[in-house]
Chain A
Amino acid sequence: MSRKSWAVAAVGTGLVLSSAVAFAHHGTNASYDPKKEVTLTGTVTKFMMVNPHGQLFWDVKSQDGKVVSWGGELHSVGLLRRSGWTRDTVKPGDTVSVRGYPSRAGTPFMVVQEVTINGKSYFRDLPEQGAGQ
């Protein structure tokens, strides 16, 4: 499990769009790059098993000691349950390795594919996930 340090840069063009933000989600591959899979190990700060997507936040310490707070989106509650998740699967303070596809915009967010905690892996694991993206 390798640690990677990430330089996080806001994308200027995004700021122009802020006034248009209200509703609009889904469209995973439009927001994340499946060709740049990363795995980041860190300490959980928050886990929310909610709809429309579960949310995981964790701090990743880089080699120079800088801490970057990452956010990851998971599936909906029903799908997480079907994949074996519960509300107690991940707790603040847990050390986790999170594999996923990072934001195309370069911000510290990813769509999570796998979370490993205490040697056990929990997967996003859906059929034909790429087919409709």
Chain B
Amino acid sequence: MTRSVNILRVGCAVVILACSVTVLGQGGGRQGGQAAQVPKDPPPIPCVNDWQRPNGCAPRTGTLSPRDLSGLWMRVRGANNLTQAATALLTPQGRAVFERNKPSFGPRAVPPVLGNDPLGKCDPLGLTRNLMTEVAARSFEFSHLPDRVFQFFEYAHQYRTIWVDGRSLPKEPEPRWMGYSVGRWDGDAFVVDTLGLDDRNWADMWGHPISTNARVQERYRRPAFDTLELQLTINDPDFYSKPIVTETKVHRLQVERAIDERMELFCVPSEEEAFNQAIRNPAGGVGNK
């Protein structure tokens, strides 16, 4: 607290001094018949490409409100996939679906043209894949309203609604790509329960399946101003013999001017096709149509 006050005092002193200099400068300009100088933008913050802290930038500082998750977050630590630990838990039913899924990533990767990854057709990626994979290189954003929390995913401009008005999860939800979610606070942990996921989803980009009977729980914590933790639990008895609990994934607040807004990244079929024609198909030794 004392340090904050001191910083505030120093800051005020700097502002007052700066204002004095500006006023003096403008007065001189008018006397000389010159136009007032338009203030220039402050120089860009040099540490732009920051998501690899601590090797990059210093920690962000600010007032921590543990129950306010607003902001743009990008993952800096944690696995992109459920890993082989989940593979080992597949039930016979789950394994059958897993074998039908032909991913382009992970230990069973095949060239995309030989696979059936929903990503290649710009199909929605679904909840768990968005949470685990796409936020590693692209951001997501929380926005709080009184009765709901929106979570926006940069990849493909996807979003979901998390209801925080006390409602219960529906008993027989219509399957959705992102499921149906309700959230609550457990101390300073934001707990989100989701069910009703569409089984066309892949749980991750290794092709692990997820069923319409799956229940997903997210636990978010904000232990520091610029840090957001997430642990996922997937309880899907149809496809996995035990609940899957992920490691704690860590996300960093994106505050630099160059990166504090979500980029536009739609998944556009025509762009996908143009890219495949120009690069990915010939790179894979595959001729174009």
What's the Cα separation between A47 and B114 when bound, in Å? 28
Question: Given the known A-B contacts A24-B120, A82-B49, A127-B76, are A53 and B275 also in contact in the complex, defined by CB atoms under 8 Å?
Answer: yes
What's the Cα separation between A123 and B279 when bound, in Å? 19
Asked if B29 is at the interface (CB within 8 A of a chain A CB), the reply is no
Whole-angstrom distance between the Cβ of B226 and the nearest chain A Cβ = 15
Which residues of B230-252 are within 8 A (CB) of A? none
What's the Cα separation between A53 and B275 when bound, in Å? 7
Asked if A32 is at the interface (CB within 8 A of a chain B CB), the reply is yes
Number of interface residues of B (CB under 8 A): 62
Determine which of B51, B204, B264, B276 lies in contact with A21 in the assembled complex, contact meaning CB atoms within 8 Å.
B276
Closest B residue by C-beta to A129: B137
Which residues of A84-129 are within 8 A (CB) of B? 84, 103-107, 109-111, 125-129
Asked if B110 is at the interface (CB within 8 A of a chain A CB), the reply is yes
* SS of A interface (majority): loop
Question: Given the known A-B contacts A14-B287, A27-B111, A78-B264, are A21 and B281 also in contact in the complex, defined by CB atoms under 8 Å?
Answer: yes
Q: List 25 A-B contacts (CB under 8 A).
A: A13-B285, A17-B113, A17-B114, A20-B113, A21-B281, A21-B287, A22-B276, A22-B289, A23-B120, A23-B276, A24-B111, A52-B275, A55-B278, A71-B278, A71-B283, A73-B280, A76-B265, A78-B154, A82-B49, A84-B48, A103-B283, A126-B51, A127-B137, A132-B136, A133-B105
